[in-house]
Amino acid sequence: MPDGSFNITTTNLDVLIAHMEEVQAAGETGWLDPVTGHRARFFMGSWCGLSDECGTPACMAGHAVLLADPVGFWTGDVHGRWAIPIVAARWLGLDSRSAEQLFHGYDNRGWVYAFEHIRLSEAIETLRRLRATGRVDWSHADGYITRGDIQNALLGSNPSSVNGDAYIDMLLHYTDEFGA
């Protein structure tokens, strides 16, 4: 574990990885909760959007809370912008920085542009990398942008040669995430 900065609960991380693999195997119909009969799907752009019609979409943090506190998850007792990532981080044994990186699609070198489009397979791979190294690493995901990519866009390339809207969004995200 690098630097001893946090103490990952590997048992819970293994449970989350296995669960996410079950969600992936369930496909579009969603994972069926054997206790409640509710269905859950993966969508990185939503902590949890309760829905009986098509299955509840939830991000990685939402699925961790589903496992940590299934009753609170389905009843809405742990919903909210701040409650879900806090409960998920504690259950996984993550410090606040690592939880933020894991649940928002970035790491120390860059981030996944438009993280709400992260695929379930990419989330599972990131969890496996976290389990193996103790570090959040999204570099394998489509749309991953490094600080070097940003620096090249700012200093080494002609901004007019880059899609204008994407370029502006990229700069705004860079400013927000890395304090530039």
Q: 55 and 29 in one domain?
A: yes
What is the number of domains present in the chain?
Answer: 2
Q: Which residues pair with 40 in a beta bridge?
A: 31, 56
The pTM (predicted TM-score) of the whole model is: 0.73
Give residue-wise pLDDT tens across range 99-150.
Answer: 988 988 887 787 777 777 888 999 999 999 999 999 999 989 888 888 777 7
Q: 154 and 133 in one domain?
A: no
Instruction: Give the phi and the psi of residue 42 in degrees, each rounded to 5.
Output: -110, 130
Give residue-wise pLDDT tens across range 31-75.
Answer: 877 777 777 888 887 766 655 554 556 788 888 988 887 767 666
Q: 101 and 44 in one domain?
A: yes
Residue 58 burial by Cβ neighbours in a 10 Å radius (0-12, 13-18, 19+): buried
Residue 31 burial by Cβ neighbours in a 10 Å radius (0-12, 13-18, 19+): buried
Please answer whether residues 12 and 92 qualify as being in contact, where contact means their C-beta atoms are separated by less than 8 angstroms.
yes
